[in-house]
Amino acid sequence: MDFGYTKEQEELRATVREFAEKVIMPKDIELDRECKGSHEILEELGKREWMGFIVPRKYDGQEKDSISLNITYTEVARASASIAANMDVHYLLMEAILRWGSEELKEKYLPQLAKGKLIGAFAITERGAGSDAAAIKEPAVLDGNEWVLNGEKCVVVGATVADAFICFFRTGEGRKGITAFVVEKDTPGLKALPHEPMGLRGCGLGRLVFDNVRVPKENVVGNIGDGLAISLGTLDFGRIGIGCSGLGVAIRSLELATQFAREREAFGKKIGEFEEIMFRLAEIATEVDSARLLLDRAAWLRDQGVRYTRECAMAKWYATELGKRAADFAIQVYGHAGYVRTQDYLQERNLPVVEKLWRDARSLTIAEGTTEIQKFVVGRLVLAEERK
């Protein structure tokens, strides 16, 4: 593993950052305030060929390495964790089709997804089945050449902005009784209803309600009963993306805290000269580098074709918790201005909206497996290694 980035990767970072600062960052506050997603921004990312890195060129993808995707996620999340979360679930649909889908599914969906002409999402969570994916109960019943889906997926990132979803339903008993389906948003009987969350308010978070939704047999991903394995394998990849979102929030929080610490004076000197603030900036800067290394290691292992479940769990846990800590510290540095949301007050003083960073980071510690689940995964694998 090379600890440096190639010239191409550095150029990618600069290009994505410029776009994110000019186009995404100005819209992020509006999306948060209005609690709505942006299909338009995601389409723009597709036009710049940033939505199909993992897709082979034969399906109109870019066929790039996973570390380049990490760079893109992080720079987008620095501007908007919501948009980065949309990118992550979009990639989850592509990952599932690419690894388990039939050639027909690949030809039908991958070119459109890779170009951002279709936006994807991932629907698995039910009221009684979140971290425990094996507890899925909502049924799918075969009727002729179609599967009939009923029930609800209660928390879906991109529910109100995505064009197609990978959905998991109960088709039999036990762990082999779950099946994955590709479902398009315009399918009769499918409704996307918005949520109003605390954080990630610009990702189109909502719930999907299935009322006798009929999908063709050809839209099954993998084999009947493969759904649990597909979900777990796909989420390994997704956790890297969510971790990069946490890293992006941490980087932005560190930048804002550092800038304010250089400018704000108290007791006759810049507050950055106080040891407590200086040391915390040093700690967060060190943790940012640590999180980046963990995430890039997981991405590198993915590209080597080896299992990276432990490494992605470590990276997701560490990076999202860091995002929360860094955002919390930024609020502390800004004082009252850190938790105020009053737009005209902040604009008059040329101050950023800092509290939103913490709300987004808090959501990321839950998305695609809570911190506790990541610790459970890592701990279980550590014990298994010791038994060997």
Q: Which two tokens stand for residue 26?
A: 């100005």
Please tell me the predicted confidence (pLDDT) of residue 348.
Answer: 77
Q: How many other CB atoms are found less than 10 A from the CB of residue 18? A: 11
Cβ(54)–Cβ(96) below 8 Å: no
The stretches of the chain forming alpha helices (DSSP H) are 7-19, 25-34, 39-47, 66-79, 81-100, 103-114, 227-263, 275-304, 309-334, 336-339, 343-348, 355-364, 371-387
Cβ(156)–Cβ(191) below 8 Å: no
Q: How many other CB atoms are found less than 10 A from the CB of residue 256? A: 23
Please tell me the predicted confidence (pLDDT) of residue 2.
Answer: 66
Dihedral sign for Cα 138, 143, 147, 150, please.
negative
Class of domain 121-225: mainly beta
Please tell me the predicted confidence (pLDDT) of residue 286.
Answer: 98
Q: What is the DSSP-derived secondary structure letter of residue 129?
A: B
The strands making up 220-221's β-sheet, listed across from edge to edge, are 120-123, 164-170, 178-184, 220-221
Cα(327)–Cα(31) distance, rounded to whole angstroms?
Answer: 19
Please tell me the predicted confidence (pLDDT) of residue 133.
Answer: 85
Cβ(278)–Cβ(288) below 8 Å: no
Cα(226)–Cα(184) distance, rounded to whole angstroms?
Answer: 20
List CB contacts of 187: < 8 A, sequence separation 6 or more.
213, 214, 215
Q: Enumerate the domain spans of the chain.
A: 7-119, 121-225, 228-383
pLDDT in single tens digits along all 388 residues of the chain: 667 899 999 999 999 999 999 999 999 999 999 999 999 999 999 999 999 999 999 999 999 999 999 999 999 999 999 999 999 999 999 999 999 999 999 999 999 999 999 999 999 999 988 788 889 999 999 999 999 999 999 999 999 999 999 999 999 999 999 999 999 999 999 999 999 999 999 999 999 999 999 999 999 999 999 999 999 999 999 999 999 999 999 999 999 999 999 998 889 999 898 999 999 999 999 999 999 999 999 999 999 999 999 999 999 999 999 999 999 999 999 998 888 888 778 787 877 889 999 999 999 999 999 999 999 999 999 999 755 5
SS3 379: helix
Instruction: Assess whether 368 carries a catalytic annotation.
Output: yes
- Please, what's the b/e burial string for 147-168 (b: 16 or more CB within 10 A of its CB; e: otherwise)? bbbebbbbbbbbbbbbbbbbbb
The structural architecture, per CATH, of the domain 228-383 is Up-down Bundle (1.20)
∠155-220-99 over CA atoms, to 5°? 85
The alpha carbons of the chain give a radius of gyration, in whole angstroms, of: 21
Please tell me the predicted confidence (pLDDT) of residue 1.
Answer: 60
SS3 84: helix
Q: Which two tokens stand for residue 341?
A: 């949301």
Q: Which of 368, 372, 385, 386 is catalytic?
A: 368
Cα(61)–Cα(40) distance, rounded to whole angstroms?
Answer: 20
| Residue position matching structure tokens 């179609």 | 146
The structural architecture, per CATH, of the domain 7-119 is Orthogonal Bundle (1.10)
∠179-183-186 over CA atoms, to 5°? 160
Cβ(82)–Cβ(160) below 8 Å: no
Q: What is the DSSP-derived secondary structure letter of residue 5?
A: P
Please tell me the predicted confidence (pLDDT) of residue 340.
Answer: 85
